[in-house]
Amino acid sequence: MNVLFVGAHPDDIETWAGGTAASYSQQGAKLFFCVATNGNVGSSTLGRDEIAKIRYKEAQNGAAVINAELIWLDFDDEFLIDSYETRLKFIEAFRIAKPDVVFCHWTQDYNPDHSISGMIVDECIHMAMVPNIKTQSKPCDKLPHVYFMDTPAGVNFEPQIYVDITSVFEKKVEMVGQHKSQNSWMKTMFGYDMESFLKVPAQFRGLQAGCRMAEAFRPSYRRGRTFIKHYLPQCLEISPNFHNAHK
């Protein structure tokens, strides 16, 4: 099984789906981490080129923890836009990975790079199958399942699927820990440390799902994505009306 994770920034994949990726890795899946932007504004002390080089290396290290292949799209941080060029780069990434399952940002996430990258994935994944859309790699031959990842503090996000990450949480922490430049950046900008930022949401989603720690997702329902079966590791499915019924 090929699994593609698409994140707007270096460290997004590890933060919002690192446990799920680690579980897939244990099952022998072939993993791809596609990072849309180069993180070149993610420092208050380093210049754009310098921090971009650091974050590229950190992204390589994070992916290497679970033997994922890194696909680096290299768009400017905080300026990802939906354009012809952008879509072609995303389509090429899809064709490189040839995924059975794709994870991306929720289209109502707080950061425009997040929401735009999620929207491009959701709207363009089928285009990877179209022969007359030319990129370097050959077209895909199947339409993968697409899942949206959780948001910071769960804002504007109602999960329908959970993955139990209790047994792999420390691996997730190890992956995020490769992004050392962002630990100080997050403390400076937002006043929190990364381990707490990972632990509290995992415990909260675990409480909802009935396990110690979990990551939360929503399937993307479009033509051709019927979800007769889910292909998530340690999958805990909750009906769409679960949370409303238990308020």
Instruction: State how beta strands 2-7 and 101-104 pair.
Output: parallel
Helix (H) or strand (E) holding 163: strand 161-164
Please tell me the number of Cα atoms within 13 Å of 8 on its side-chain side.
26
Return the percentage of the chain with pLDDT > 70, whole number. Answer: 94
User: Distance (Å, rounded) from C-alpha 23 to C-alpha 233?
Assistant: 6
pLDDT digits (tens, 9 = 90+) for 68-121: 999 999 999 999 999 999 999 999 999 999 999 999 999 999 999 999 999 999
Beta carbons within 8 Å of 164's beta carbon, 6+ residues apart: 206, 209, 211, 212, 213, 214, 234, 236
Indicate the range of 32-41, 121-130, 234-243 predicted with least confidence: 234-243
Residue-level pLDDT at 204 = 97
pLDDT tens for 33-48 read 999 999 999 988 899 9
In the DSSP assignment, the letter for residue 123 is H
User: What's the CATH code, domain 2-245?
Assistant: 3.40.50.10320
* Alpha carbons 69 and 97: distance in angstroms, whole number: 9
Residue 243 pLDDT > 60, yes or no? no
200 or 44, higher pLDDT: 200
* Reported confidence tier of residue 246, pLDDT bands at 50, 70, 90: very low
Please compute the mean of the pLDDT values over residues 41-67 and round it to a whole number: 96
What percent of the chain is modeled with pLDDT above 90? 81
Residue 240 has pLDDT above 50, yes or no: no
Check pLDDT > 60 for residue 239. Answer: no
Using alpha carbons, select from 81, 100, 101 the residue that is nearest to residue 36.
81
Predicted model pTM: 0.93
- Which of 82, 81, 80, 78 lies closest to 41 in space, CA to CA? 78
Check pLDDT > 50 for residue 207.
yes
